[in-house]
Structure 1
């Protein structure tokens, strides 16, 4: 398959996918190497496509007409990551990212795109298997999450749940 046709197919796949799509999955589908797909993604980004790399694969921005993006501040230790993520997704939110304010590097952002308990569990499993600390541990557990939810009432529900389990940082 020629590069231009493959790039078109990648965009179509990302637009229709309900979750992140890995470079390996795209490579298998198109019969090319993972590195070829990574190169195609780089070219698509240079052409202006807002493709985000998450720990589970590539995504295009969510449709923001039906939802809004909000920031919430949280504080917890490593053992409470799953409880925090589950609280957010159970109340109807999607965790887009985590941001910490590092004293040397400034703002550090990690893309997450977690929208259900399965994705939350997979993320926590990867954190636990990794030797790298979660970003929030670099700032004594204090961090921000960009979350997407349908309205302010859903945001308040999320905040109340996080407050009740001692994770909302106010």
Structure 2
């Protein structure tokens, strides 16, 4: 039996429905297969939905729907870090082992300005999946553009959790003093 092919607005409504029903990130490839279109069509659909101010986030694990700002944890802080690529796993494990989420990574490029990428890792499994995708695709870390200097937005349930992470990162030599 041939899969149904969704067209235009109907397909975008179906994408929203899928993101609302599922609690896990959905990759562009998985959505494309399910909706019988190319991954590029999904990327374009996501862009059109975002243009309508629909809160879809592109994370390293796939697309997620952020219905309201309160989806994020109540406390956040931006920290400045430095390390070579081979210490990325260690840095991320320190953070998530303290119950803190790494929302994103940001670098300041001399030509392109601020470049930010959503990471959204909260546990070791998500960190390992993020790193697997980097390795599998032979992608570079954003921090390689700035010789290891980067910012992370951290989110946590309490200010103390973030304070504990900052202390642990400092002790491990990851924090960049400004």
Fold-level similarity (TM above 0.5): yes
Match of 1:38 among 43, 58, 72: 43
Please say which of residues 92-101 and 37-46 is displaced more in the overlay.
Answer: 37-46
Change in Cα spacing, 1:102 to 1:66, as seen in structure 2 (3 Å) is: closer
Question: Which consecutive residues of structure 1, in runs of 5 or more, have no partner in the other structure?
Answer: none
Counterpart in the other structure of 2:111:
104
Counterpart in the other structure of 1:95:
102
Counterpart in the other structure of 1:128:
135
Change in Cα spacing, 1:42 to 1:65, as seen in structure 2 (3 Å) is: closer
Structure 2 matches for 1:2-41, cutoff 5 A?
3-41=8-46
Cα RMSD (Å): 2.2
Q: Does 1:162 align with 2:165?
A: no
Change in Cα spacing, 1:135 to 1:65, as seen in structure 2 (3 Å) is: closer
Counterpart in the other structure of 2:152:
145
TM-score where L is the length of structure 2: 0.82
Question: Which consecutive residues of structure 2, in runs of 5 or more, have no partner in the other structure?
Answer: 1-5
3-state DSSP of counterpart to 1:20: coil
Aligned residues: 170
Q: 1:45-70 CA deviation, whole Å, 9 max, x = no partner?
A: 12111322223211233634652332
Cα distance in 1 for partners of 2:29, 2:133 equals: 17
Alpha-carbon distance, 1:43 to partner: 1.9
TM-score where L is the length of structure 1: 0.85
3-state DSSP of counterpart to 1:49: coil
